[in-house]
Amino acid sequence: MHKDDRMRIEEHLFIDDGSVPNNARLPLVVYRNALDTGPGAAEACERLFARNGWSGGWRGGVFPYHHYHSTAHEALGIVAGSATVRLGGEGGKVVHLHAGDVVVIPAGVAHKGEVASPDLVIIGAYPGGRGPDRRVPGKGDRERVLANIMAVPLPLSDPVQGPSGPLIESWRA
């Protein structure tokens, strides 16, 4: 379940910095206060994401090193605790995430967990059953990675609000 009455949307666009490809055509979207918190929040987030076509999920945190996915977009639902995450690579933006927030990271955009509360629980998921790879900036076949990123289809549904949510509106504009 989500809290439409308090939800706020933020968008951040990251361009290729020579090390991290990022994604200059699709903004990263942060939904503030999008999820209910407390007992059962993890299961509720998993059900919400699955109902909206985002699956392949996991529970955990954010790796403490810069990484990105070239084969899938990623949704992160913060269901407990808080985290400080650097987005877009070393020269990117630091964002503070709290229980109830959701972040949708376009393919190619680097993310790194910098600080996490001891009770942090994140639910991760991917649209359309796509599986992610894990890439580290500066390593690997750049041309293949760029081709992978361009080939990732747009999701059919917003992970929080379904077929006509903010992500769909933003990414199809």
pLDDT in tens, 104-117: 999 999 999 999 99
CB 124 within 8 A of CB 76: yes
Q: What pLDDT score was predicted for residue 2?
A: 46
Domain extents in the chain: 8-167
DSSP string for 58-115 = EEE---SS-BB-SS--EEEEEEESEEEEEESSTTSEEEEEETT-EEEE-TT--EEEEE
Q: Is the pTM of this model over 0.75?
A: yes
pLDDT confidence bin for 139, thresholds 50/70/90:
confident
Q: Considering only CA atoms, which of 16, 9, 12, 162 is closest in space to residue 93?
A: 12
CB 34 within 8 A of CB 58: no
8-167: which CATH number, 2.60.40.10, 2.60.120.10, 3.10.20.30, 1.50.10.10?
Answer: 2.60.120.10
Mean pLDDT, the chain, rounded, equals 93
- Give residue-wise pLDDT tens across range 38-79: 999 999 999 999 999 999 889 999 999 999 999 999 999 999
Angle at the Cα of 116 from the Cα atoms of 115 and 118, rounded to 5 degrees: 140
- pLDDT > 70: percent of the chain: 97
Q: What pLDDT score was predicted for residue 1?
A: 41
> Hey, which residues does 83 pair with through a beta bridge?
97, 116
| pLDDT reading at 4 higher than 60 | no
Give the distance between the most distant pair of CA atoms in the chain: 45
Work out the average pLDDT over 89-103.
Answer: 97
CB 107 within 8 A of CB 71: yes
Q: What pLDDT score was predicted for residue 142?
A: 85
Task: Tell me the torsion sign for CA atoms 96, 102, 104, 105.
Answer: positive
> Hey, which residues does 80 pair with through a beta bridge?
121
- pLDDT > 90: percent of the chain: 86
Q: What pLDDT score was predicted for residue 5?
A: 67
